[in-house]
Structure 1
Amino acid sequence: MNTAKLSFIGAGFHASTNIYPSATQAGAEIVAIATRNLERSRAALQRFGSSGKPYSDYRKMLQEVECDGVVVVAQPQDQTALVLDCIHAGKNVYVDKPLGWNGPEALQFADAAEQAGVVLMVGFMKRYAPVYLKLKELIAGGTLGEARSFQARFAVDSTPFCKDEEQFMKLAAIHIVDLLRFLFGEAVQSSGFTNNDNERIAQSISLKFANGVVGSVYFAGMSAWSRESESLTVTFDHGFVCADEVVKLSVHHSLAASGLPWQSLAEQDMVFTPSASAMSGGYRDLYLRGFVGEMAHFIQCCREGLTPVSSGRDNVKTMELCDAILSALM
């Protein structure tokens, strides 16, 4: 199979640190880059070993360059116009979250992409992280029975880029909100409490999903969490599973014994972890956090005309749940 050809709009820190190297790891050829500055575009091409063409006008790039898809990683306020122009140019497009600031805005992009017949994928990389894919597999497989409840934690220093509660929810915590939808389906009830002072955020949230799963979420956005931290524990009929910091998945299977459970070796614990060596380098993080997986999925969807797991249409539900949670906070 030939290498997938991708064009890029944007070459900021996040794009250069996470998205560009993940795309090349997923088998993409960078054929063009557009930023506001031609020299910056040329430097980005050189950094990633591409002989593609630099642009200072992304509209000209959309007109001139043949590619399998366009990757948009820009500021949230800029992405709406960029994505619409890509769609109107007939290009498959990946865009970093958020796409649209609420449900109605997100719906416009989903409708536009479907009318144009192009792939539209939103960057929710946690859906493609190996630890959460394994957790999803355990939920669907039923070996532990039905999933009943969960407890999630996500804490990060979001103060440099989130100045209020809504920005925190839609620029940072949104990843966990989307992940919970990916794992459990649609939420039907939400409630919670908040303690915030502008950019310093602390939230305690309860959610109930249509399938009966209930759980609590702790979100924190403050400088105390300069060491980003996340975990997710899911309780099943016959055990529990703990996903810890995207690098470890612990599975406890509670087995029925003929006598008291502590009288024999009746229970099972398994721990899934990645290998680590000097050869893994920085790419290990990109694989484990899901960046490489989402780029590989976008390439596959572009080549085969598939609907992405994190499609523009699915993104509408995530934005609606973010707003429902914000409305429920007291």
Structure 2
Amino acid sequence: MKTTHLCFIGAGFHASTNIYPSVVEAGAEIQAIATRSMERSEAALLRFGSNGQAYDNAQLMLQQEICDGVVVVAQPVDQTALVLECIRASKNVYVDKPLGWNAAEAATVAKAAEQAGVVVMVGFMKRYAPIYMKLKELIDSGSLGKVRSFQMKFAVDSTPFCKDEEQFMKLAAIHMVDLMRYLFGEAIRVTGTTVKDGEHINQSISLVFENNVVGSAYFTGMSAWSRESESVLVTFDNGFASAEEINTLTVHQSRSSTSLPWKSLEEQDTIYTPSGSPMSGAYRDLYLRGFVGEMAHFIACCQNQTVPHSSAKDNIATMALCDSILSSLK
């Protein structure tokens, strides 16, 4: 299989810490980088071992470079316009969330991508995290019966980059909102309660989905949560599954017997965890959080011209659900 060549727009902290290393680990080659500074672009190329071309003008890069795709990791306010420029240049695009600030903006990008016939993928990395892929596999298999309900928690110190609830929802909690859709389908009813004290945000949300799954989510953005935390507990007909902190999935299968369950060893827990080894270096986190998986998926979509799981069109529904949750909060 031929090597995939990718161009980049942006080389900030998130891009340099998570996206560039994941692209290299997924087997692609960095062909060119564009930032607002030629010096910064050259430094990024050197840091990630590329002898590609540096630019201080993204439009010029799009005009001059022939590549398999463009990775856009810029400021949220700039991303929609940058993606539309890539689409007009007939480039496949990966873009970090959010793509569009609402469903209407997301739909504009999706329509442009469809008309141009290019791949546009949104960076919802949790879909590609091993723990949630394993949970999705369990849900789809039906081995524990039908899903009945779920509880979700997401806690993070969002105070440095989120000044209000809309920013918190669309810059932080949006990953968990998209994960709901990935795991349980489309929500048809949303109610919520919120308490905001300065930049500290606490939200309690209840949802009903098309398939009659009911769920609750606790989202909080407070300085207390410098230790970022997330979990998803799913109740099935015949057991439950608990995904904790992206690295442990516990699957409990309930059993029926002639005696009371506490009288025998009839029930069973299966625990999935990653291996721990110094050989993993810093890459273990990139795999477990889904960054390498999402970049590998984008590379495959570019090579085969297939629709990504987290496509521009699919992104419309995620942005719409974010807006529905915000509208429901009281």
Identify the TM-score tier after normalising by the shorter chain: over 0.9
CA drift of 1:263 comes to 2.3
1:36-93 Cα distance to aligned partner (Å, 9 max, x none): 0111100000000001000001111111111110000000101111100000000000
TM-score relative to the length of structure 1: 0.99
Matched AA of 1:300: A
Mapped contact 1:165–1:198 kept (Cα < 8 A) = no
What CA distance in whole angstroms lies between the structure 1 residues aligned with 2:48 and 2:3?
Answer: 15
What CA distance in whole angstroms lies between the structure 2 residues aligned with 1:133 and 1:265?
Answer: 29
What CA distance in whole angstroms lies between the structure 2 residues aligned with 1:208 and 1:198?
Answer: 30
What CA distance in whole angstroms lies between the structure 2 residues aligned with 1:225 and 1:278?
Answer: 27
1:84-116 Cα distance to aligned partner (Å, 9 max, x none): 000000000000000001001100000000000
Matched AA of 2:178: D
What CA distance in whole angstroms lies between the structure 1 residues aligned with 2:175 and 2:219?
Answer: 11
Matched AA of 1:256: S
Paired residue for 2:123? Answer: 123
SS in 2 for 1:246: coil
Matched AA of 1:73: V
What CA distance in whole angstroms lies between the structure 2 residues aligned with 1:61 and 1:316?
Answer: 28
Asked if residue 223 in structure 1 is aligned to residue 223 in structure 2, the reply is: yes
Paired residue for 2:139? Answer: 139
Matched AA of 2:77: Q
Give the superposed CA RMSD: 0.6
Paired residue for 2:269? Answer: 269
Asked if residue 285 in structure 1 is aligned to residue 276 in structure 2, the reply is: no
Paired residue for 1:3? Answer: 3
**Tell me, which stretches of 5 or more residues in structure 2 are unaligned?**
none
CA drift of 1:240 comes to 0.3
SS in 2 for 1:3: coil
CA drift of 1:2 comes to 1.7
TM-score relative to the length of structure 2: 0.99
What CA distance in whole angstroms lies between the structure 2 residues aligned with 1:167 and 1:85?
Answer: 24
CA drift of 1:243 comes to 0.2
CA drift of 1:215 comes to 1.1
Paired residue for 2:296? Answer: 296
CA drift of 1:262 comes to 2.0
What CA distance in whole angstroms lies between the structure 2 residues aligned with 1:78 and 1:325?
Answer: 24
Matched AA of 2:300: Q
What CA distance in whole angstroms lies between the structure 2 residues aligned with 1:267 and 1:222?
Answer: 39
SS in 2 for 1:279: helix
CA drift of 1:258 comes to 2.2
What CA distance in whole angstroms lies between the structure 1 residues aligned with 2:209 and 2:6?
Answer: 37
Percent of aligned pairs sharing the same letter: 70
Matched AA of 1:54: A
CA drift of 1:264 comes to 2.1
CA drift of 1:257 comes to 1.1
SS in 1 for 2:50: coil
SS in 2 for 1:2: coil
Asked if residue 162 in structure 1 is aligned to residue 191 in structure 2, the reply is: no
1:113-163 Cα distance to aligned partner (Å, 9 max, x none): 000000000000000000000000000001100010000000000000000
Matched AA of 1:193: T
Mapped contact 1:110–1:313 kept (Cα < 8 A) = yes
Bigger drift between 256-265 and 216-225 goes to: 256-265
Paired residue for 1:102? Answer: 102
Matched AA of 2:34: A
SS in 2 for 1:196: strand
Paired residue for 1:77? Answer: 77
What CA distance in whole angstroms lies between the structure 2 residues aligned with 1:169 and 1:251?
Answer: 29
The ranges of structure 1 where at least 4 consecutive aligned residues each deviate by more than 4 angstroms after the TM superposition are none
**Tell me, which stretches of 5 or more residues in structure 1 are unaligned?**
none
What CA distance in whole angstroms lies between the structure 2 residues aligned with 1:207 and 1:276?
Answer: 36
